[in-house]
Amino acid sequence: MAGKDGVSLKSVSYGARLRRSCDASLREAGSMRDPFLKHRVKKFDLSSLDWIDEIPDCPVFSPSTQEFEDPLVYLSKIAPVAAKYGICKIISPVSASVPAGTVLMKELGGIKFTTRVQPLRLAEWTKDDKFAFFMSGRKYTFREFEKMANKEFVRRYSSAACLPSRYMEEEFWHEIAFGKMESVEYACDIDGSAFSSSSHDQLGRSKWNLKRFSRLPNSTLRLLRAAVPGITDPMLYIGMLFSMFAWHVEDHYLYSINYHHCGAPKTWYGIPGSAASDFEKVVREHVYDHEILSGEGESAAFDVLLGKTTIFPPNILLDHHVPVYRAIQKPGEFVVTFPRAYHSGFSHGFNCGEAVNFATGEWFPLGAVASQHYALLKRIPVLPYEELLCKEATFCANEFSLFEHGNVTLTGGTHIQSYMKGPFVQLMRFQHRVRWLLVKMGARTCYKADIDATVLCGICKRDCYVAHIMCNCRADAICLCHEEEISKCSCNCDRVVFVRKDIFELEEISKKFEEIGILDEVGKQMSQNDGYNMHPYLSNGIDHNAKYFPYCKILIDTSPELRTFSEVDVLGYDLNKPYPTLSTITSAHGPHEYSTQSDECTSSKQRTYSSSCPENGTLSVYPLCTSDQAFSTDKLAAQDTDDSDCEVFRVKRRSSIVMEKRCSEDLTITLTENQVLLLL
């Protein structure tokens, strides 16, 4: 059935087509469960909704026009209070003079977007009943979607006015559990911004314009060499009645900031970052069935939560004493989530929001924890954490040096920078000690080649910014965290540790941070270990009479012969550049197995390469490409190829890249997409 404006409402033919596509996909997956069918889920008791009144509100801040001048300074000011709640709301003292609809329809030429279909039900979270948003909706302009969403609202409530938020919260959870609505549409992860470029728009001119937020002077993400969609560049989220975003934490535990441009309010639920482990424990033990978890450890639930499709009511968290806070976001208001703060929510009607990530120096300790989780799960990171840490440390050291000479005023707070210095010193000390042990075992050290790419560890996918190892046993590089694997390798003298050309400068910065006195406790904790007890696998292979000293000189072998044995011959990953999706790239230089012409432990023996494939035929890589090429390809994949009614949701910020097993001179790499929706 179509309205007068030509935008069809949810017709019988559309629903039937959707269901046929769904049934076909379910048959292929070996399951016939109807993804729209509501049924009682015993673990989620929604017979009473009195628990809604038990959720306290998050803090709300109303900055003055003067306080509003610098976002990161203001956020740093309120963080000691706001971070305890995981989320907070900031009411902007400045209004946008150009409406979001005008920006999207006129300034951006009436862009069209494809919606996603969200079943309105609860799932058992078993092998046969997981919640998934996997079907493509229809294409709309902003105005078309607005008309459709408003008609759906009026049809249900016989009113176009916003209804009380407490009533809408009850309506949402009652509909999820017992209602007759099968699904809603949600336009999420749309590239673009609804902030106006007009010089007359006061909010658009301000630093709170999300198009420039992540690149502000004190934002760590300014150090990325290229934009990352959804991380450094904002995305739009256009919802309707009961559109929802699932429980999730931001990639790499980053901060997020969401601005509500227009429309009906949103209800947010937030968990403090300090309670993230308790949240994951409740999800692991009381939401997910054991059979869908990938392991037994604490990261098991985190792995499933990364799919960002987990919907469940907050009362189960309250029952297990996990703190939950609520925000009701209205037009003109920002919601900020703090590092490692899980959050979810839903819309009260048609609305348009916009979000982006950012990071300050305070993020680095939690960024290290996130990187460890990614490594344990062997997931390709979205950001090169080690690179950002080293670049921020270098910037801080240079700024401090200029400050000492009276040439510059410090831009960042000393207490904020201290959060970065601790992880940096730990990284440099750890890497130096492992490199020293490897040299004592017979390895050589060489400078990295000048390639504009991030090398990822072949085992855990960490970014190897400072150093990585290559030897005859593996076709790819590995990081310095895999001591057990290294100890089992018999290469010894045929092993090469590649380090950055500025390695000595980085170590000098680390020493300077310790001398300043801020990191005395960090240095004390690390120096209490003699170096052998911390690295038992590697220590067994060296002379224990050798005495280790932090930052002692490790000789670099600059022999030209070693240039043939470098990471140039392994495809690099570039986490600082966007990458094309759904494409195939052929490279003449793939991973190789290495063989030496001599068994003697001499650095002068040149290696030859055989062009055979890795034994398992799989290697995760990011191809190198220009930003323009990547953007255009990604946009095509996002907008021009998702007309299929049974399309699986794509993840914009992360992709899995599989190497086809081919025994030929060239290696073909096929990029495939994760089949999970990324909801913000």
pLDDT at 641: 36
Separation CA 620–CA 458 (nearest Å): 8
Separation CA 575–CA 585 (nearest Å): 17
pLDDT at 582: 27
| Maximum mean pLDDT: which of 12-16, 146-150, 294-298, 672-676 | 146-150
Measured over the CA atoms of residue 547, residue 551, residue 552 and residue 557, the dihedral's sign is positive
Establish how many alpha carbons lie within 13 A of residue 472's alpha carbon, considering only the half-sphere containing its beta carbon: 16
Phi, psi of 478 (to 5 degrees): -130, 155
Beta partners for residue 12, in sequence order? none
Separation CA 449–CA 470 (nearest Å): 13
pLDDT tens digit sequence for 577-631? 543 332 222 222 333 232 222 223 333 333 332 222 333 333 333 333 333 333 3
Separation CA 359–CA 511 (nearest Å): 25
Q: In 3D, which of 350, 398, 359 has the Cα closest to residue 224?
A: 359
Averaged pLDDT, 646-662 = 33
Phi, psi of 229 (to 5 degrees): -55, 130
Residue 277: pLDDT band with limits 50, 70, 90 = very high
Measured over the CA atoms of residue 594, residue 596, residue 602 and residue 606, the dihedral's sign is negative
Separation CA 648–CA 135 (nearest Å): 6
The domain segmentation of the chain, as residue ranges, is 50-360, 385-530+543-569
pLDDT at 637: 34
Question: What is 50-360's CATH number, 3.40.50.970, 2.30.30.140, 3.40.50.300, 2.60.120.650?
Answer: 2.60.120.650
pLDDT at 629: 37
Separation CA 425–CA 440 (nearest Å): 23
Averaged pLDDT, 180-195 = 93
**Alpha helices (H) along 111-266:** 142-157, 165-178, 202-205, 210-213
DSSP string for 60-114: EE---TTGGG-HHHHHHHHHHHHGGGSEEEEE-SS--SS-HHHIIIIIT----EE
pLDDT tens digit sequence for 229-245? 889 999 999 999 999 99
pLDDT at 49 over 70: yes
Separation CA 94–CA 480 (nearest Å): 49
Residue 33: pLDDT band with limits 50, 70, 90 = low
pLDDT at 129: 86
Beta partners for residue 259, in sequence order? 334, 354
Measured over the CA atoms of residue 533, residue 505, residue 223 and residue 417, the dihedral's sign is positive
Residue 86: pLDDT band with limits 50, 70, 90 = very high
pLDDT tens digit sequence for 429-466? 999 999 999 998 889 999 998 777 789 999 999 999 99
pLDDT at 370 over 80: yes
pLDDT at 666: 35
More confident site: 489 or 525: 489
Distances (CA, A) of 418 to 201, 237, 289, 290, 518: 37, 35, 41, 40, 7
Q: Whole-number mean pLDDT of the chain?
A: 77
pLDDT at 613: 31
Q: Is 356 helix (H, G, I), strand (E, B) or coil?
A: strand
More confident site: 635 or 316: 316
pLDDT tens digit sequence for 530-545? 444 455 556 555 555 6
Residue 133: pLDDT band with limits 50, 70, 90 = confident
User: Apex CA 206: angle with CA 200 and CA 208, to 5°?
Assistant: 135
pLDDT at 644: 31
pLDDT at 25: 46
* Portion of the chain with pLDDT greater than 70, in percent: 70
Q: In 3D, which of 94, 56, 49, 55 has the Cα closest to residue 74?
A: 94
Q: In 3D, which of 656, 651, 643 has the Cα closest to residue 188?
A: 651
